[in-house]
């Protein structure tokens, strides 16, 4: 992968991370500002369900941010774009679609096939 590709993916990952952090910050601000004493029990239950869903989404974002950080570290270390299992190049198209990918398409398919066989 040439330096131009690495710069492209570094920027793409940073932008994605910034977007996720901003959305999480907005969620937390909204939850803090929300008035909890308004409405009847049904309205409060609906609001709590919505808040719970939102918090689960933010937890997924937190995990995704961790994967983005790892991808950024791999860029700095020079291992970005190479499969963790085979050391083969992952491929620009796959990385463009999934910039946090750590496995080549073949390795990912083998892993998924294995998981199916084991019932995971």
The per-residue pLDDT for range 68-112, each reduced to its tens digit, is 999 999 999 999 999 999 999 999 999 999 999 999 999 999 999
* pLDDT tens-place string over residues 1-11: 899 999 999 99
Q: CA dist 89 to 1, 3, 13, 81, Å? A: 9, 15, 18, 6
Parse the chain into domains and list their residue ranges: 1-80, 82-119
Fold annotation for 1-80: 1.20.120
> pTM higher than 0.85 for the full model?
no
């Amino acid at each position: 992968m040439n330096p131009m590709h690495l710069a492209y993916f570094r920027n793409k990952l940073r932008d994605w991370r910034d977007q996720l952090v901003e959305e999480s910050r907005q969620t937390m601000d909204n939850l803090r500002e929300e008035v909890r004493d308004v409405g009847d029990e049904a309205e409060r239950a609906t609001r709590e369900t919505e808040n719970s869903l939102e918090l689960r989404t933010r937890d997924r974002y937190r995990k995704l941010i961790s994967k983005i950080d790892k991808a950024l570290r791999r860029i700095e270390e020079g291992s970005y774009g190479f499969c963790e299992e085979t050391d083969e190049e992952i491929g620009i198209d796959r990385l463009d679609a999934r910039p946090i990918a750590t496995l080549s398409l073949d390795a990912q398919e083998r892993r998924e096939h294995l998981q199916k066989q084991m019932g995971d």
